[in-house]
């Protein structure tokens, strides 16, 4: 049997398949783009002393003084936090710094919050995102400043992610 279609007519199915593939790839890429911009929440590794900082042995105002560091000192964070305090590395040990005396950028202070109950730390700011870890109720998390669709970027135990803002007590 002889095929009387033109070359263009014979190639149409192949070009139509390529067009469908291109549309599918574009939709997949748009899906990734919709999630990716705000999805990368990392635990901050360092903070800077915004003012001279008194480092203490425990996260309380009456704890013993361990050291004082001048404004501008970069401090390594351990990933632990308590209300109003952030744990930092001090030589071979750790100490606690008032969160208001540190900065992650331009603004003074590092915000913390306490989980109202056990809550997931998610890998993206949406309800069906993957769980990075579970944060027990009553634990303090470090808030890194980003807020997307009702989720706060946070870190707990050196893991970064997103927590539903309704699960946090400030």
Percent of the chain with pLDDT over 70: 75
Task: Give residue 157's pLDDT.
Answer: 87
| Better-predicted residue by pLDDT, 37 or 51 | 51
**Distance (Å) of CA 104 to CA 36, 44, 49, 164, 169:** 22, 8, 9, 21, 21
For residues 16 and 71, membership in a common domain is answered with no
Please state, in angstroms and as integers, the Cα–Cα distance from residue 148 to each residue in 61, 91, 107, 152, following that order. Answer: 33, 36, 19, 7
Question: Is residue 86 classed exposed, middle or buried when 0-12, 13-18 and 19+ CB atoms within 10 A define those classes?
Answer: buried
Domain stops at, among 24, 39, 54: 39
- Verify that 29 and 71 share a domain, yes or no: no
Q: What are phi and psi of 144, to 5 degrees?
A: -95, 0
Alpha carbon 162 to its chain's center: 6
65 and 32 share a domain? no
The answer to whether residue 146 scores a pLDDT higher than 90 is no
Q: 144 and 71, same structural domain? A: yes
pLDDT digits (tens, 9 = 90+) for 19-29: 445 545 544 44
Shared domain check, 89 and 120: yes
Task: Identify whether residues 106 and 152 lie together within a single domain.
Answer: yes
> 101 and 132 share a domain?
yes
Residues 56 and 29 in one domain: no
> What is the C-alpha to C-alpha distance for residues 94 and 104, in angstroms, rounded to an integer?
19
Q: Give 128's pLDDT tier (boundaries 50, 70, 90).
A: very high
Average pLDDT over residues 92-112: 91
Domain residues for the domain of 116 are 46-169
Determine which of 1-10, 88-97, 124-133, 139-148 has the lowest per-residue pLDDT on average. 1-10
Q: Would you state the structure tokens that stand for residue 19, as one six-digit string?
A: 């067009």
Number of domains in the chain: 2
The DSSP call for residue 99 is G
Give the residue-averaged pLDDT of 155-167: 92
Q: What is the pTM of this model?
A: 0.68
Q: Alpha-carbon distance 58 to 55, whole Å?
A: 9
Confidence band of 41 (pLDDT split at 50, 70, 90): low
Same domain, yes or no: 65 and 1 = no
The reply to whether 55 and 29 lie within a common domain is no
Q: Are residues 28 and 77 in the same domain?
A: no
């Amino acid at each position: 049997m002889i095929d009387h279609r033109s070359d263009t007519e014979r190639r149409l199915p192949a070009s139509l398949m390529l067009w469908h593939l291109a549309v599918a790839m574009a939709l997949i890429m748009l899906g990734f783009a919709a999630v990716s911009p705000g999805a990368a929440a990392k635990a901050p590794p360092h903070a800077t002393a915004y003012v001279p900082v008194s480092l203490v042995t425990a996260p309380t105002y009456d704890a013993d003084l361990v050291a004082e560091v001048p404004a501008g000192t970069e401090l390594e964070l351990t990933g632990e936090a308590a209300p109003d305090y952030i744990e930092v590395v001090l030589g071979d040990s750790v100490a606690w710094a008032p969160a208001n005396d540190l900065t992650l950028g331009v603004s003074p202070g590092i915000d913390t919050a306490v989980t109202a109950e056990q809550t997931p730390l998610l890998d993206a700011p949406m309800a069906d995102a993957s769980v990075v870890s579970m944060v027990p109720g009553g634990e303090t998390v470090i808030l890194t400043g980003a807020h997307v669709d009702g989720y706060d970027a946070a870190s707990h135990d050196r893991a970064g992610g997103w927590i539903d803002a309704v699960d946090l007590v400030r």
